[in-house]
Amino acid sequence: MTLRMPTLPMAVLRRFVPLSLVTLTTVGCAVFLYVGIREPAGSRLEQAETAFQTAKQNQAQLSRTRVLQEQARTAQQHIEDVWKGLPTQNEFASFAMAISEVGRLEHVAIPGMAYHVEKAEGAVPVKATLTFKVTGSYGAIYRFIHRLELTEPYLVIERLDAARLDKSDRASSTLLVFNVKVATFLRPSPPGAQEL
């Protein structure tokens, strides 16, 4: 058994030529569109997706940076407020006078004060301490200490201890004596201002 391909007459084959040309043209256009447009479009889409992801990461980084900058501005403003709130080295004497005035208002006696100011190194605040004795009734000393704590935000009571009255005063007196050491920080005096 032999298989034979049927042969078509030439006239019939000529009728299929236009259809074959249209088919070949369509297939050629489809291949051209696939290779010439779809593949580069896919490549451009991948590039656009990569650029989008990069831009998204950059935006997130910029957003984090903006938040950090705002926090830094807020911290800087807070530091400037604290700096402005600190007394200057020239104001330290009036600071001691203010403590004496609080003592007078609360009816306690402050016979004298000793002070110590650390050496300034550049434009940084220096620690200054006042040491003194307070004599008065318990209620007056309590009010005095309370007012000291509330009056100055940068005043720290470093030491507070009771002391004994002289032997001659113990039996007849209801007064108490406290040794007090307070500290604060002083910012440098402005240029041209008189030092302590």
Domain ranges of the chain: 12-85, 89-186
Third-level CATH fold of 89-186: Alpha-Beta Plaits (3.30.70)
> Is the pTM here over 0.75, yes or no?
no
The candidate with the shortest Cα–Cα distance to 176, out of 166, 165, 184, 191, is: 165
Residue 196 confidence (pLDDT) above 50:
no
CA dist 1 and 155 (Å) reads: 119
Number of H helices, E strands in the chain: 5, 4
* pLDDT tens digits along 33-85: 777 777 777 788 888 899 999 999 999 999 999 999 999 999 999 988 888 88
The pLDDT, as a whole number, for residue 50 is 93
The H-or-E segment that residue 42 falls in is helix 39-85
Residues with Cβ within 8 Å of 131's Cβ and at least 6 positions away in sequence, in order, are 113, 114, 115, 116, 179, 180, 181
* pLDDT tens digits along 108-140: 999 889 988 888 787 788 899 999 999 988 889
The candidate with the shortest Cα–Cα distance to 157, out of 139, 131, 135, is: 131
